[in-house]
């Protein structure tokens, strides 16, 4: 992940073979590609072998029973459902995309959400009161509007990937006085967009209430907030990921009260970032959980 997401001069000079040779970036990427290819090929071969040996049993089942995404992709390949060439290379690319898209995304998001809540204890108190009221009254988990604001504000300040997947311009365009030629690789800085003072009041402040009377959402339709990208190539797992984050956060806030280690106050709580495929905390998040025992009326 460090090889794929860390800073490299090759990203600044992609057409220079010399830079790639001097930095060793090309060699590192080839090694990573070879290692990953072996793993993906083994996954596909294993599924293909199981499909072959259990074909009779599979035929007696309903379509889709006991299948995972690799089985579905192999079925598409075998049946030529797409009407275009679909080989193991395409299957490996899709598997890798799914893997990279989900690697650490929700764990990093939860870590940043908890960090912001510890840094802003009044927000923690409000979110915790909402969660415990809903859980105690047996209401639905989707009736947690303030928690959803907390998640949205977390993604504004801490998008899963600070730099979105590169795009290529189809034609020459001008952006803020800069001419972007056709076929230029363009990288969108979602981290900077979420902190742009032209669109956000006090952009560096964690303030979930900013979304109370706002229709801005992170589903890809509002370009001032695109932590998951936009358009047809936006993150396909956004709804699944958000659901997981809401569930994990709600359970953490319901079952525990949280304290900082001795000697640390919320004013001096460290929020330093470390850049990579994702922007993670520079230092590990260390918190003290205190079990919460609800008092139910007799």
Annotated binding site: 235
**Distance of alpha carbon 56 from its chain centroid, rounded?**
39
Binding residues for heme: 235
CA distance 281 to 28: 25
* Max CA distance (Å), the chain: 76
- Return left, alpha or beta for 104; rule: phi > 0 is left, psi -120 to 50 is alpha, else beta: left
CA nearest neighbour of 237 among 249, 225, 219: 219
Q: What is the CA radius of gyration of the chain?
A: 23
Neighbours of 196 (CB within 10 A): 12
Long-range CB contacts for residues 245-249, cutoff 8 Å, separation at least 24: 245/106, 245/109, 245/110, 245/113, 245/151, 246/141, 246/144, 246/147, 246/148, 246/151, 247/141, 248/106, 248/110, 249/110, 249/113, 249/114, 249/147, 249/150, 249/151
229 and 130 Cβ atoms separated by less than 8 Å: no
- Which pair of structure tokens corresponds to residue 229? 């990208």
Strands 178-180 and 288-291: unpaired
**Distance of alpha carbon 157 from its chain centroid, rounded?**
13
């Amino acid at each position: 992940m460090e090889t794929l997401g860390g800073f490299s001069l090759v990203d600044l000079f992609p057409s220079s073979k010399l830079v790639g040779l001097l930095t060793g970036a090309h060699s590192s990427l080839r090694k990573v590609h070879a290692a990953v290819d072996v793993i993906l090929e083994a996954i596909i071969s294993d599924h293909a072998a199981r499909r072959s040996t259990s074909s009779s049993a599979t035929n007696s089942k309903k379509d889709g029973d006991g299948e995972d995404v690799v089985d579905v992709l192999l079925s598409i390949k075998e049946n030529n459902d797409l009407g275009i060439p679909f080989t193991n290379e395409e299957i490996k690319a899709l598997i890798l995309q799914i893997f990279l898209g989900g690697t650490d995304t929700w764990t990093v998001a939860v870590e940043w959400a908890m960090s912001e809540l510890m840094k802003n204890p009044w927000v923690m108190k409000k979110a915790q009161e909402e969660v415990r009221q809903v859980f105690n009254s047996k209401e639905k988990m989707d009736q947690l509007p303030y928690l959803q604001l907390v998640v949205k504000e977390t993604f504004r300040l801490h998008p899963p990937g600070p730099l979105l997947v590169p795009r290529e311009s189809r034609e020459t365009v001008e952006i803020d006085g800069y001419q972007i030629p056709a076929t230029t690789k363009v990288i969108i800085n979602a981290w900077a967009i979420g902190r742009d003072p032209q669109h956000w009041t006090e952009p560096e402040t964690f303030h979930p209430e900013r979304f109370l009377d706002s229709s801005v959402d992170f589903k890809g339709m509002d370009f001032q907030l695109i932590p998951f990208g936009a358009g047809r190539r936006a993150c396909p797992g956004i709804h699944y990921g958000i659901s997981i984050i809401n569930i994990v956060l709600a359970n953490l806030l319901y079952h525990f009260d949280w304290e900082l280690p001795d000697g640390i106050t919320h004013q001096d709580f460290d929020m330093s970032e470390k850049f990579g495929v994702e922007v993670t905390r520079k230092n590990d998040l260390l918190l003290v959980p205190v079990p919460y025992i609800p008092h139910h009326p007799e």
